[in-house]
Structure 1
């Protein structure tokens, strides 16, 4: 056949189910002559008479009996594909998802997310994994269903939904001078700093801003994740930067305090990313919407306007804007 007519399968199914041209015509809501012409066409296509007369009735040939169940299965499968789905109910979902969550969101997100999934979709299992450099490929290859946090690199095949911009704050032990005394650029630069970087980067946007003031900071070490950094500064004299939303509920229990970094720093963009093949999937959409709702709920309140305390802290707006334009990588 040069052209495939799928209607022939439906007609063949009706003929083989009823063994009658008249009954098949009624099922197909067409005329008996039209169904007779369809049977003639099927005989030509398949090279078999399919139904032959035996007295007053038609009986199937061996070839027809061989095809009967296969044709019926194909027709039912097609009907299932084209039938509108019932309204989605997360409570009936039985599925596992791999969510790659960054340090910027994971500490505050994990508890509420697991509780919400348990409440709304008890048949769903979540596998939360830490972010890594192969995030775009993991989404494309199907090893990750959804990524949440700071999306440092985007893939042309990836859908990215930006949720909000977080801000960096300083974190230190409760008795640290930057917590108990006014924070100046000079005092901040003079402190011992701990950098958070999976790649072990020491320099970042903070160093670029300090350079505008002619100052440098002393980074005493790097750690791969925010949790390690918070535990490290808890008992020492070092300070570290952290996205405000990521540490809102952790500072008190850990005996830590936050302070405003006296520099105009670029925001930390928080978002979701996934592969387009999941966009129309109802289960995936439910999880995306749930994550978005929880992430927006954990967003830290906007900071009060930063006041630079001394003349040495003032930096021209032009310099700040110029510096911000060069911040393409994550803040260390």
Structure 2
């Protein structure tokens, strides 16, 4: 027993039908779709066979639509609009229609600097979006790959071939102390005075040393580390209530400010320039390439850029 084959869905026919019904001219429809009148004439013949209706008929020097064509005009236009929306790049999404939760992994200091501004942008532009911040507890490369996190923000130290990384802001380290700390009084801060002070070190791995110790060792100096904490915010809170010195990121000389540079001053800490050459701190974002073209993720990345970069910085 033979069966009637199902018609093949051809999006090009829908586009051609919309152009023909809108222009009511083979020549003008061909120009609209950047094809030849001969090719458009063959497409019209095919549409007539598929729809079993002449669609456009000659009336003197013009062509007029049949009743069937008039009935199809609005529907054809709607189909073409839907196809356009379906095949449009994902980055063109309207943030106002976004719904769902974005998960961001960041160190506590980065999260404290990022969350207020990012939440403000979400309320203004994407009110249907919720934000979830996670501490640096997951292996970022694998978590991005598995979709457990949408974006990593901070000092990106893993190198995964497929991970996309973008640097956002470069900062320097400063010594943060409470108002009235001995280092704020008297002579200028020197490597000797800095080394003699009591220090708190921030390390998720419990390490007692870092770049400052390397710079001091080159001058035969060694600082006194009283405590190691896993959190910058905890370390800064301790510095605000005791005589320990905490290293925090701040703007480069002459550079634009960033919310990251404001957290310590918000806690009332005084920032002192370190009289030693220390490597800068670069804060960036990392994401998996499967989300590169996603409209919602594109908004998220742009919102993080606008939050962490000061106005006027490149890329804002």
Query: How does the TM-score come out when normalised to structure 2?
Result: 0.68
Give, in angstroms, the shift of residue 112 of structure 1. 1.0
Tell me how far 1:173 sits from its aligned partner.
1.1
Residue 153 in structure 1 maps to residue 161 in structure 2: no
Q: Which residue of 1 aligns with 2:214?
A: 208
What is the Cα-based RMSD across aligned positions, in Å?
Answer: 3.2
Determine whether 1:95 maps to 2:113.
no
Gaps of 5+ in 1: 1-6, 15-24, 33-75, 301-332
- Quick check: 1:9 aligned with 2:8? yes
1:169 corresponds in structure 2 to 174
User: Alpha-carbon deviations, 1:95-154, whole Å to 9, x = none?
Assistant: 211011223422221111101101100011111112235111111110000111111212
Structure 1 residues 263 and 85: CA distance shift in structure 2, 3 A: closer
Paired with 1:253 and 1:275, the residues of 2 have a C-alpha distance of 34
Instruction: State the partner residue of 1:297.
Output: 310
- Please list the CA deviations of residues 13-41 of structure 1 after superposition, one character each: whole Å capped at 9, or x if unmatched: x9xxxxxxxxxx98952658xxxxxxxxx
Cα deviation, 1:219-239, whole Å, max 9, x if unaligned, reads: 111111111001111111110
Residue number in structure 2 paired with 1:50: none
Matched, 1:29 2:35: no
Q: Check if 1:124 corresponds to 2:123.
A: no
Distance 1:121 1:282 in 2: 12
Is residue 166–residue 299 contact of structure 1 (8 Å, CA) maintained in 2? no
Alpha-carbon distance, 1:180 to partner: 2.2
* Cα distance change, pair 233–85 in 1 and its aligned pair in 2 (3 A): closer
Distance 1:120 1:133, change over 3 A: same
1:167-246 matches, within 5 Å, as 167-181=172-186, 182-244=188-250, 245=258
Q: Do the aligned residues in 1 keep the contact of 2:109 with 2:233 (CA within 8 Å)? A: no
CA, structure 1 residues 191+28, in 2 after alignment: closer, same or farther (shift >3 Å)? farther
Does residue 281 (structure 1) correspond to residue 294 (structure 2)? The answer is yes
Find the partner of 1:249 among 257, 262, 287: 262
Q: Which runs of 5+ in 2 are unaligned?
A: 1-5, 14-42, 51-79, 251-257
**Matched residue of 1:105: which SS?**
helix
Q: Whole-Å Cα distance in 1 between the matches of residues 120 and 223 of structure 2?
A: 41
Q: Is the 8 A contact 1:104 1:246 kept in 2?
A: no
Conserved in 1, the CA contact under 8 Å of 2:152 and 2:287?
yes
Q: Is the 8 A contact 2:260 2:308 kept in 1?
A: no
Q: Determine helix, strand or coil for the equivalent of 2:152.
A: strand
Alignment match, 1:41: none
Aligned counterparts of 2:201 and 2:226: Cα–Cα separation in 1:
8
Check conservation: 2:169, 2:308, Cα contact below 8 A: no
Structure 2 counterpart SS, 1:297: coil
Q: Distance in 2 between matches of 1:162 and 1:253?
A: 25
